[in-house]
Amino acid sequence: MANILVCDDDREIVEAIDIYLQEEGYQVFRAYDGEQAVELLAREQIHLLIMDVMMPRMDGIAATLKIRESSSIPIIILSAKSEDKDKILGLNIGADDYVTKPFNPLELVARVKSNLRRYTSLGSLGQENIHTYRAGGLVINDENKEVTVDGETVKLTPIEYNILLLLVKNQGRVFSINQIYETIWNMQAIGADNTIAVHIRHIREKIEINPKEPRYLKVVWGVGYKIEKLWEGAL
C-alpha cells in the first residue's frame, strides 16, 4: 500500500487526515512544516504528499518548489484560500491538485486515490499499453513512460503525462475541458477551467519551441484542446 506524507502545522488536521487514510490502508508519515516534509522525502519512499500552504520555517509553496527539483510525486495542496488566483499559483508551482479548507475528508481521500492511480499508471505497474505514439517530432513511449520532442527527453508530471497521452492517442479529436478533467481525474468537473488551463500551459512550455505559437497542442476556441494530427498515431 502507498506511503502518504501529510504536512500541516495544525496537528489536529494532520491527526484527522491520518485517521481517514489509515482506514483506507495507507501508511501515513507526518510533518509539521515544509522543512520536515523535504527531509522526510529524502529519507522515506513517499508516493503522495498532502501539504498545507501557510506553515512556519518553510511554507508549502517553497517546499513544493524544492521538491519539484528532484521528484514528480503527486502533491495535493491544502489551503484556506479559495480564490482562483491561489489555486492557479498552487498548480503553477507544480502541485497536482488543490483542496480548499474546510474540506470533506471523504473528498480528500477520493482525490488521494485518483492521484495515486495516475502516479501508479505512470510507473512500473502500467503495462497494459506498450505502444509508441507519434505526432511529428513528439513521441510518447507508453511502455517506458517516456516523452521526447525531436529526440530530446521531456520531463512531465504524472498529470501532464496523462493529459498529453490522452490527446496524442486521439490526434485530431477535440476534448473539452470537462472531458479532459473527468477522464484524467475520474471525477465530476466543477470549476475545472483554470486547472486544465494551467496544466496545458505547462505542457506547452515543455513540448513546444514557441508555446505562444504551438505546433502540437492546439486550442479550439470555445470548444477545447487537441493534438494536431501530424503523423499516424500508434506504431
Name the residue ranges covered by the structural domains of the chain: 3-122, 132-227
Element of type H or E holding 63:
helix 60-67
Report the alpha-carbon distance of residue 181 to residue 176 in Å, rounded.
9
Closest CA relative to residue 95, chosen from 126, 118, 72, 123: 72
- pLDDT per residue over 3-52, tens digit each? 999 999 999 999 999 999 999 999 999 999 999 999 999 999 999 999 99
Asked, colleague to colleague, whether 3-122 and 132-227 share their fold, the answer is no
The pTM assigned to this predicted structure is: 0.61
Q: How far apart, in whole angstroms, are the C-alpha atoms of residue 139 and residue 148?
A: 5
The CATH number given to 3-122 is 3.40.50.2300
Angle (CA) 173-216-152 rounded to 5° is 135
Q: Given 3.40.50.300, 1.10.3720.10, 3.40.50.1220, 1.10.10.10, which CATH number is that of 132-227?
A: 1.10.10.10
pLDDT digits (tens, 9 = 90+) for 142-160: 888 899 998 889 999 889 9
